[in-house]
Amino acid sequence: MSRTPNNIVSDWLAALNAALVAKDIGAATALFAQDSYWRDFVAFTWNLKTFEGPEQIGRMLGDRLDHVAPGNWALAEDATGDEENTEAWITFETGAANGYGHIRLKGGKCWTLLTTMQELKGFEERKGARRDKGVAHEITRGRKSWLERKQDSEARLGYDEQPYCLIIGGGQGGIGLAARLRRQGVPTIVVEKNARAGDSWRNRYKSLHLHDPVWYDHLPYLNFPDDWPVFAAKDKIGDWLEHYTAIMELNYWSGTEAVKAAFDEAAGEWVVEVKRDGVPVTLRPKQLVFALGVSGYPNVPHFDGADAFLGEQYHSSKHPGGGDWTGKKAVVIGSNNSAHDICADLWEHGADVTMVQRSSTHISRSESLMDLGLGDLYSEKALANGVTTDKADLLFASLPYRILPDAQKPVYAEMATRDATFYSDLEAAGFDLDFGEDGSGLFVKYLRRGSGYYIDVGASQLIIDGRVQLATGQVDKITGNAVVMADGTELEADLIVYATGYGSMNGWLADLVSPEVADAVGKCWGYGSDTMRDPGPWEGELRNMWKPTNVEKLWIHGGNLHQSRHYSKYLALQLKARMEGLDTPVYELQESHHPR
C-alpha cells in the first residue's frame, strides 16, 4: 500500500523530533541523504548558514541542540509529490522562537531543508488579535492625541533618548528594515542624506523604470495595489517609498548626512556624528546598520587624456536623462543595465550613440524572464496557485546556493532556445553574449557579482538595428573629442557616460568608520565560490549580508527590492533579540573585532 505525501513527511518529522529530543545525532543524520542541504536563517544558528551533507549537519546539531531545544515539528499544510519526491511546508519551535520551513524528500530522505525564525516567543509583533487598541475609552483632561504622542516621540528620539539601532541609508533597504524594527518595538532612526524619502529613485534618469515585475518588489507588510503597473516608473517608486515612511510611522531623518562613526568600547555602543539639516547631532546607538544598496561609491575608471576632454563626462549615477541631444555624439562605456537604459534614453532624445562593451554581458528578454525565470514564483499565475510573495521568497531561499546554478541552467537553456533569433541577431551585431560562466544565467550572476547583465526592455533592438552603434574591446585613451579604443578606433564624443558600476561596500565603511574596520568586515556580497573570477573559500551564503559581521554590532543590509524585503525579517529578529538581552551565540562566526 502506497503512503501519501502527508504520511511520508509526517513520519520523517516525527523521526527527526524523536532523534533530537533523545540527542541521538546519528539517528538524526541518518534521515538526510548524502547530498543533502540544511539552510538555516537564524533559528538554529543566529546566523545565515548552509550545511552540506550529514557530517556538517551532525556537527551543527551536536553543537547547537542544548541551546536551540527544537521541537513540535509538524506539517503546515498538505504535502505534495509522491513516494519518491515529496515536499512540504513545515512548522517547528525552538526555545526562543517559532519557526517555519520547507522540506524536500527523495526516497524518504531529506534532500533540502530550510528552517527560518519567524517570531521570538514573548516578543511577537502586536498584530492581528494582539494589535494595540489605539485609544483609551475614558475621558480625562490633558489626553494627548495620536499626533501629539507621535510628535513628542520624534522630538525625543535622537536627543533626549538614544535609538537602539541606527540605519545609515534611507532607500528601500533602510526603509523596509526600519518598518520591521518598528513592528518589533526596536527604537530606530534612519538617516538619509537626500531631502525626501524616495529621492534615491527620483534623482535618477527620467526614463528609468523597474526591470523587475511588481510581484517581486513589494515592501514588507504593504503590497503594492493590485492595479500597480508591472514595471513602475522611478518617480512612482519614489513617491511610494515616501508614503511608506509616513504610513509605517518611521523615524526618518531626511536631509541628514552621516559624517563619522566610532565604537565606544567602554559604553558598548557606537558614536555616530551626523548633520541634520546642517546641524551637528551626536547619536549613540547600540547597533549600527549600513543600508546603502548593493555597492559602494561610483566606479569611474581613469583613462589617459580624460582631463583634457572638451565635452561633458560623468558617471551613469549622474545621468539626468531627457534633454535635447540632437546632432550630438554620445559614448556610453559599459554594457549592463544602466548602460543600455542610458543608451536608449540618449537615442530617444536625438543623440548619435555608441555603446562600448568591454566584457561579455548576459541578456534576458523581459518577457522570457518573467515567464521562465519568475513566473512560477512571482506572477498572477503564482498567486492563483497559492504562491504568495512570502512563500515565493521562501521557495527561492529553499534552494541553497550550491545547487541553485544547476536549478537555473534549464531555465536559461530554454530561454536560449525560445529567443534564439534574438540572440543570433545580437551576436550578428557584434554583441558579446554570455549566460553566466556556467550557463546558470542572470540570478546567479547577480548573486556572484552584482553585475554583468541586462534585462532587455527594448534597448537590445536598438543595437540589433544599428541605431545604437557598438564598439567592443578596451579603451586606450581619451582625447579632446573622442574615445580611442585599443585597436586605434576613434569614437567621436560630445558626451562620455561611464556606466562602469560601483566599488565595494567596504568603501563606505572605510570612510565613515576606518579602513581597519572595513578590512575586519571583509568582502561584502558574492557567495564564496570556486570560480576563476572569485577563488575565495566556499561559504554557502552571501558574504556579510544580513547577518553578524566580524565587527561587533555592525551590520550590512541591502540588495534588490526582493532581498531587502525578505532578509530584513531575519536581520530585524537578530537585532530585537539582542535588544531584549536574549542569548544569541552565533554559529561559526570568526573571531569578532572591536572597531577602533
pLDDT: which is higher, 48 or 128 = 48
Q: Does any domain span residue 140?
A: no
Q: Residue 534: what pLDDT?
A: 45
pLDDT in tens, 163-209: 999 999 999 999 999 999 999 999 999 999 999 999 989 988 888 88
User: Coil, strand or helix: which one is 39?
Assistant: strand
CA distances from 184 to 121, 127, 172, 187 (A): 12, 10, 18, 9
Q: Is the pLDDT of residue 229 over 70?
A: yes
| pLDDT for position 296 | 72
The answer to whether residue 467 is domain-embedded is: yes
Mean pLDDT along residues 357-379: 95
DSSP readout, 459-476? Answer: HHHHHHHTSEEEEES-EE
Task: Please check whether residues 283 and 310 belong to one and the same domain.
Answer: no
Nearest alpha-carbon partner for 228 in 215, 241, 209, 238: 215
Residue 104 has pLDDT above 90, yes or no: yes
Q: What does each C-alpha distance from 480 to 78, 469, 490, 577, 580 come to in angstroms?
A: 69, 21, 11, 59, 61
State the virtual CA torsion across 463, 468, 473, 474 in degrees, nearest 10: -140
> Which of the listed residues 444, 471, 498 is the one where a domain comes to its end?
498
Three-state SS at 271: strand
Residues 286, 154 within the same domain: yes
384: in domain: yes
Cell (9 digits) for 7: 504520511
- The answer to whether the CB of 257 falls within 8 A of the CB of 275 is yes
Specify the pLDDT at position 438. 92
Same domain, residue pair 155 and 171: yes
Determine the pLDDT at residue 142.
Answer: 80
Assess if residue 510 is contained within a domain: yes
Per-residue pLDDT band for 281 (boundaries 50, 70, 90) equals very high
- Residue 485 CB contacts under 8 Å (≥ 6 apart), including other chains: 356, 471, 473, 474, 475, 476, 491
pLDDT digits (tens, 9 = 90+) for 425-442: 999 999 999 999 899 999
Is the domain of 439 the same as that of 406? yes
Q: What angle do CA 255, 569, 534 make, to 5 degrees?
A: 85
In a domain, 126, yes or no: no
Q: Would residue 115 count as lying in a domain?
A: yes
Does one domain contain both 163 and 265? yes
Whole-number Å distance between alpha carbons of 388 and 143: 42
Confidence band for 136, pLDDT divided at 50, 70 and 90 = confident
Which structural domain range is residue 77 located in? 5-120
Note whether 552 and 434 are same-domain residues: no
Q: Return d(Cα 363, Cα 286) in angstroms, integer.
A: 43
Domain count, the chain: 3
pLDDT in tens, 393-421: 999 999 999 999 999 999 999 999 999 99
**Using an 8 Å Cβ cutoff, are 227 and 198 in contact?**
no
SS3 181: helix
Mean of the pLDDT values across residues 75-80?
A: 97
Provide the pLDDT for residue 133: 84
Residue range 472-479: average pLDDT?
Answer: 96
Q: What is the distance of C-alpha 461 from the center of its chain?
A: 30
Give the mean pLDDT of 145-160: 90
> 550 and 478, same structural domain?
no
Choosing from 460, 477, 498, the residue where a domain stops is 498
Look at the alpha carbons of 553, 559, 561, 565 in this order and tell me if their dihedral is positive or negative. negative
Nearest to 309 by CA among 482, 526, 164: 482
On whether residue 14 sits in a domain, the answer given is yes
Q: How many CB atoms lie within 10 A of CB 310?
A: 10
| Domain presence at residue 189 | yes
End-to-end CA separation in angstroms for the chain: 66
pLDDT tens per residue, range 26-52: 999 999 999 999 999 999 999 999 999
Mean pLDDT, to the nearest integer, of 451-459?
92
Q: Label residues 281-305 b or e (16+ Cβ within 10 Å = b).
A: bebebbbbbbbbbbbbebbbeebee
Question: Do 393 and 524 have their domain in common?
Answer: no
How far apart, in whole angstroms, are the C-alpha atoms of residue 20 and residue 40? 16
Q: What is the CATH number of the domain that holds 518?
A: 3.50.50.60
Rg (alpha carbons) of the chain, rounded to whole number:
26
Q: What's the pTM value of the predicted model, to 2 decimals?
A: 0.94
Say which range, 21-25, 154-158, 299-303, 506-510, has the weakest mean pLDDT: 506-510
CA dist 200 and 595 (Å) reads 29
Q: Flag whether pLDDT at 593 surpasses 70.
A: no
Q: Do 493 and 530 fall within a single domain?
A: no
State percent of the chain over pLDDT 90: 83
Residues with Cβ < 8 Å from 146, sequence gap 6 or more?
134, 135
The CATH number assigned to the domain holding 15 equals 3.10.450.50
Q: Give the whole-number percent of the chain exceeding pLDDT 70.
A: 96
Instruction: Give the model's confidence band at 1: pLDDT under 50 very low, under 70 low, under 90 confident, else very high.
Output: low
- Do 396 and 369 fall into the same domain? yes
Boundary of a domain, candidates 445, 471, 498: 498
Q: What is the pLDDT of residue 140?
A: 83
What is the sign of the dihedral through the CA atoms of 556, 560, 565 and 569?
negative
Q: How many CB atoms lie within 10 A of CB 421?
A: 8
Nearest CA to 102 out of 581, 110, 16, 286 is that of: 110
For the cut 60, the answer to whether the pLDDT of residue 535 exceeds it is no
Q: Are residues 438 and 566 in the same domain?
A: no
Clarify whether residues 318 and 414 are in a common domain: yes
